[in-house]
């Protein structure tokens, strides 16, 4: 009898999969897996703001659900060290003190991040390795080696009381990566044979047919560029593209060039990669940026950060000749070995323009012959291959805008190798047991805008709206002095207009203010809230009619 009761209880218990970020946008990847009172978090990413989010530095997921349930959160497991998977950790760890699990290289990136936010001493960091299982609450987790544009990346196979779920993290299937640690197809196939309840798969490149080329495939074209260069070579890539940095060092050495490393992120990444043996730099190959001028131009390669045209990056400063070490001269070659992230086009092409003015030869990923950059995400054939190996009961696309998730679900269904595909978005609660999966309700999800100056401030949507108004329509300061005793206006009101051509209507605006003040009775004049609101409404109406603009109007009442 007892057996059947526990069986019934099991039937009523559901595994919950709750995405909090990354399903409905690219970036800020974060997902909660819940069984009863135990929550496991996979990744804690951020994303960089679109240009219309004025003055915002980073965007992180709304963590309300985790904060409300912080007593149940058992740990955060990271798939790899890219910002869109680890960048939100400082904000999460300020609210929820739990251990963070990641591979050795991923945790090296995390340490730097936590140190910056003074959280390193109070955070427990736990090393994980592919094929070595570990337990968090009711979950037994096996990291599986995957390949990506960064090193030491893993997928997660999670044994839960209702079955195994596999989260791929970011991946492409590279069977001959530069570090000699290929994608572990075998372990995925083993899980497929034993039976997988759900596969959560990276959707980033679902619109690309075919296969994504190996990291090695950029070497022939880069080799040709280095061989042909007459003067200095400035080589820029994402600082986390360890394979690409390694290839750059190998080519410099092969062509008899010294290497100077310029830019904080490039320096940090190279150091970490060296410490972990991913890059082998022979003595004497690297020169300090301060000594670059001592090396003949045709014997130097400069590794420089700033591939996305970031305004204060080393490459952007060098492009306008304001970097103290890196000077780009006529005839130098600049290689941008990275993709253009959507939204960054303007900034990148502005830098390329500056470089062209300096008469440098700029080589970037313009789709012409020869690869100088390859993606770190699997294309359609790799996605299909993995689905066919794992053959899950339920397929759940992750990472990307909604249209990508929808397309990915179709691609999975067409393979015929899955039970069913389910598209979920941030905040959806997907409940699973051994026999069924269904969406059941929503939790709070969304984004939190962070303005990180000297302190970390959360920026409300209202602030963004204000900033947008100021940038588009300007501001009007309406100053009026009122005698506290008599309620009379003591002197001519002042009108200050900025951000739109309002100078010619300043006198008329002053007349509008006087008229408004005259229309108020003594009682109204004694209530400054009423005075301000009346002034604001009348000025708004007048300015809109006169100029077609809707500036921000700030009435100031001074008591005399």
pLDDT in tens, 4-42: 444 444 456 899 999 999 999 988 999 999 999 999 999
Pairing of strands 163-167, 198-202: parallel
**Domains of the chain with CATH codes:** 2-211+376-456 (3.60.15.10), 216-364 (3.40.50.10710), 474-559 (3.10.20.580)
pLDDT at 550: 81
Nearest to 231 by CA among 325, 315, 299, 320: 299
How far is CA 408 from each of CA 19, 164, 206, 232, 375, rounded to the nearest angstrom?
17, 21, 6, 44, 18
Distance, CA of 196 to CA of 388 (rounded, Å)? 12
pLDDT at 1: 39
Give the chain's end-to-end CA distance (angstroms, integer).
Answer: 86
Model confidence at 537, pLDDT cuts 50, 70, 90, reads: confident
Distance, CA of 480 to CA of 533 (rounded, Å)? 13
The pTM of the full predicted model, rounded to 2 decimals, is 0.81
Distance, CA of 241 to CA of 250 (rounded, Å)? 14
- List the structure tokens of 42: 């996979």
Q: Are 520 and 496 in contact (CB under 8 A)?
A: no
Residue 475 host element (H or E): strand 475-482
Model confidence at 284, pLDDT cuts 50, 70, 90, reads: very high
Model confidence at 463, pLDDT cuts 50, 70, 90, reads: low
Nearest to 230 by CA among 253, 248, 255: 255
Residues 6+ apart with CB under 8 A from 52: 464, 468
- Residue 213 is classified by DSSP as P
Specify which residues 160 forms β-bridges with.
Answer: 163
H helices within 56-184, ranges in order?
64-68, 83-86, 89-95, 104-116
Specify which residues 301 forms β-bridges with.
Answer: 233, 259
Share above pLDDT 70 across residues of the chain, in percent, rounded to a whole number: 90
Q: Are 493 and 480 in contact (CB under 8 A)?
A: yes
pLDDT at 47: 84
Distance, CA of 447 to CA of 155 (rounded, Å)? 25
Model confidence at 325, pLDDT cuts 50, 70, 90, reads: very high
């Amino acid at each position: 009898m007892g057996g059947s009761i526990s069986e019934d209880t099991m039937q009523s218990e559901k595994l919950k999969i709750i995405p909090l970020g990354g399903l409905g946008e690219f970036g800020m990847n974060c997902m909660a897996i819940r069984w009863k009172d135990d929550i496991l978090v996979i990744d804690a990413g951020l994303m960089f703001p679109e240009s219309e989010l004025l003055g915002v530095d980073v965007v992180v997921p709304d963590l309300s659900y985790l904060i409300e349930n912080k007593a149940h959160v058992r740990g955060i497991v990271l798939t790899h060290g890219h910002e869109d998977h680890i960048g939100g950790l400082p904000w999460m760890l300020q609210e929820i003190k739990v251990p963070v699990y990641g591979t050795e290289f991923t945790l090296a990136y995390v340490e730097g991040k936590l140190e910056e936010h003074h959280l390193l001493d109070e955070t427990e960091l736990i090393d994980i390795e592919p094929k070595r299982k570990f337990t968090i609450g009711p979950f037994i987790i096996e990291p599986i080696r995957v390949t990506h544009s960064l090193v030491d990346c893993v997928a997660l196979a999670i044994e839960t009381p209702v079955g195994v779920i596999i989260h791929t993290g970011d991946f492409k299937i590279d069977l001959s990566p530069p570090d000699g640690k290929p994608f572990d197809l075998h372990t995925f196939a083993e899980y497929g044979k034993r039976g997988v309840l759900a596969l959560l798969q990276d959707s980033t490149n679902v619109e690309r047919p075919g296969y994504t080329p190996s990291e090695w495939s950029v070497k022939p074209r880069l080799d040709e560029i280095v061989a042909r260069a007459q003067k200095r070579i400035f080589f820029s890539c994402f600082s986390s593209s360890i394979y690409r940095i390694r290839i750059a060092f190998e080519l410099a050495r092969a062509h008899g060039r010294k290497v100077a490393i310029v830019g904080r992120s490039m320096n940090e990444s190279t150091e970490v990669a060296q410490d972990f043996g991913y890059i082998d730099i022979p003595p004497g190959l690297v020169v300090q940026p301060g000594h670059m001028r001592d090396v003949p131009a045709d014997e130097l390669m400069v590794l420089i950060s700033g591939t996305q045209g970031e305004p204060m990056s080393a490459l952007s400063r060098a492009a306008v000749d304001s970097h103290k070490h890196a000077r780009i001269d006529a005839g130098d070659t600049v290689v941008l070995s990275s993709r253009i992230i959507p939204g960054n086009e303007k900034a990148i092409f502005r830098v390329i323009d500056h470089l062209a003015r300096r008469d440098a030869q700029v080589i970037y990923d313009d789709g012409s012959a020869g690869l100088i950059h390859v993606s770190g995400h699997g294309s359609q054939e790799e996605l299909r291959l993995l689905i066919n190996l794992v053959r899950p009961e339920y397929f759940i696309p992750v990472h990307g805008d909604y249209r990508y998730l929808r397309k990915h679900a179709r691609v999975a269904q067409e393979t015929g190798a899955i039970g069913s595909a389910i598209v979920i978005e941030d905040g959806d609660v997907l409940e699973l047991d051994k026999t069924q999966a269904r969406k059941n309700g929503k939790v709070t999800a969304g984004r939190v805008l962070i303005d990180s100056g000297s302190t970390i401030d959360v920026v409300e949507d209202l602030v963004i709206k204000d900033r947008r108004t100021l940038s588009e329509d300007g501001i009007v300061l309406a100053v009026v002095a009122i005698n506290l005793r008599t309620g009379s206006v003591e002197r001519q009101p002042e009108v200050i207009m900025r951000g739109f051509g309002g100078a010619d209507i300043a006198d008329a605006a002053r007349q509008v203010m006087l008229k408004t003040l005259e229309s108020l009775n003594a009682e109204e004049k004694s209530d400054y809230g009423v005075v301000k609101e009346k002034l604001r409404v009348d000025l708004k109406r007048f300015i809109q009619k006169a100029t077609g603009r809707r500036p921000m109007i700030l009435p100031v009442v001074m008591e005399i």
